[in-house]
Amino acid sequence: MMTFLTYLVSGVSLGSVYAIIALGYTMVYGIAKMLNFAHGDVIMVGAYISFCTTSYLHLPAWLSVVFAVAVCTALGVVIEGLAYKPLRQAGSLAVLITAIGVSYFLQNAAQLIWTSNTKVFTSVVGLPSVRLFGGRLTITGETIVTVLACLLIMAGLTFFTGGTKLGKAMRACSEDKAAAQLMGINVNATISMTFAIGSALAAVAGVLLCSSYNTLIPTAGAMPGIKAFTAAVFGGIGSIPGALLGGLLLGIIEIFASAYLSSELSLAIVFGVLIVVLLVKPSGLLGRYVPEKV
């Protein structure tokens, strides 16, 4: 029973990270209708920035997170402006290949800057572990912070998209760009804003992910990025609560699969979930079904 709870806790922790990354995917996909392959690599950049500021500049942990968020936000806006904006009218194949190119660029640039050696990432969380049931169940400080951060971000974004003017503009753009423009919304600025928010979230996710796992390599973001996309699709792409639900479920499935079924096959199982979801319910658990118009 205790082992089950331990696995559940680590599943929720991992799932919360996936949920934060999935939020970035979901928002960008919802508004720009493009799969931002480079999102996972922005996570990695965020983690490296945090690593550098704490290890080389000896800044306090909270400041390093602020730095990471600032750099990633700028990076997200620059990527959007240079690579994706010129292709707004182009077909999805061209945009997708460009996104892969950006992802590849970030990975290889990181490899040149920070080398491919594994860096030991010191956790930015100072919170002590909590022991429950007489020490049989340990919840680490990282887990608590990750889950809290995830819930906080979720609540903040729900308020932002529902209550603020900019959030409403975002939803309008995701519904119909041309109509939004006619209503006086600056579509390009709104899309840039979405990328900025998504990349800021990616930075937070990167720092939290590396705090839990303590290792950092240039390809660290690629796999979590793809899994988080799976989570976003699972929950229903474009839906914020869907990203939370999909992320948590995927994290729990991944941990349980590697604990109870086979650790070697956990990747295959996670992707198997994606394929089953796409075939059975492509709109996801909480997504809306949008019929195709001819």
Partner 1 sequence: MNRLRTMKPAARQNLISYTLVTAAYLVIRLLQGQGMLSRSIQGQLVPICCYIVMALSLNLVVGISGELSLGHAGFMSVGAFSGVAAAVSLESGGVGSPAVRLVAAMAVGAVLAAAAGFIVGVPALRLQGDYLAIVTLAFGQIIVNILQCVYLGVDAGGLHFNFLDAELHMEGGVSIISGPKGTVSVTKIASFTAGFLLILVALAVVQNLVNSRAGRAIMATRDNRIATASVGINSTKYRLMAFVVAAALAGAAGALYGLNYSSVAPSKFDYNTSILVLVFVVLGGLGNMWGSIVAAAFLTALPETPAMRGLADYRMLVYAVVLILVMLGTNNPSVQSFLNGKLRRKKRRKEGAVK
Q: Which is nearer to partner 1, 88 or 168 (CB)?
A: 88
Cβ nearer to partner 1, comparing 144 with 187: 187
Residue 130 interacts with partner 1 (CB under 8 A)? no
Please say whether the beta carbons of 286 and 242 come within 8 A. yes
Residues 22, 292: Cα–Cα separation, whole Å: 25
Q: Sign (positive/negative) of CA torsion 180, 181, 184, 186? A: positive
Bridge partners of 131, per DSSP, are 138
234 to 263: interface string for partner 1, x by CB under 8 A: ----------------------------x-
Q: Determine, following the binding rule CB under 8 A, whether residue 226 of this chain makes contact with partner 1.
A: yes
Q: Which is nearer to partner 1, 14 or 102 (CB)?
A: 102
Q: Which of 8, 137, 278, 285 binds partner 1 (CB under 8 A)?
A: 278
> Closest CB to partner 1 among 61 and 285?
285
Among 58, 91, 128, 289, binds partner 1 (CB under 8 A): 91
Burial class (CB in 10 A: 0-12, 13-18, 19+), 183: exposed
Q: End-to-end CA distance of the chain: give it in Å, rounded.
A: 54
Of 46 and 218, nearer to partner 1 (C-beta) is 218
Cβ nearer to partner 1, comparing 89 with 128: 89
Q: Is 178 in the site for partner 1 (CB under 8 A)?
A: no
Q: Of these, 93, 182, 183, 290, which contacts partner 1 (CB under 8 A)? A: 93
- Report the length, in residues, of the chain: 294
Question: Measured on CA atoms in the order 220, 221, 222, 225, is the torsion positive or negative?
Answer: positive
Q: Is 105 in the site for partner 1 (CB under 8 A)?
A: yes
For residue 263, the Cα-to-chain-centroid distance in whole angstroms is: 23
113 binds partner 1 (CB under 8 A): no
Helix (H, G, I), strand (E, B) or coil at 131: strand
Among 102, 193, 197, 286, binds partner 1 (CB under 8 A): 102
Instruction: Spell out the residues 6+ positions from residue 63 whose beta carbon is closer than 8 angstroms to its own.
Output: 53
Q: Which residue, 273, 265, 211, 171, is CA-closest to 16?
A: 211
User: Which residue among 86, 126, 156, 162 contacts partner 1 (CB under 8 A)?
Assistant: 86
CA distance 145 to 70: 20
Q: Is 98 in the site for partner 1 (CB under 8 A)?
A: yes
Residue 120 in the binding site for partner 1 (CB under 8 A): no
Residue 138 bridge partners (DSSP): 131
Provide CB contacts within 8 A for 124, sequence distance 6+: 50, 54, 61, 62, 64, 65, 207, 211
With contacts defined by CB under 8 A, name the span among 3-11, 108-116, 154-162, 178-186 that binds partner 1: 108-116
Nearer residue to partner 1 within complex by CB, 85 or 168: 85
Sites of contact with partner 1 (CB under 8 A): 29, 34-35, 83, 86-87, 89-94, 96-98, 100-102, 104-105, 107-109, 111-112, 222, 226, 229-230, 233, 262, 264-265, 267-268, 271-272, 274-275, 278-279, 282, 294
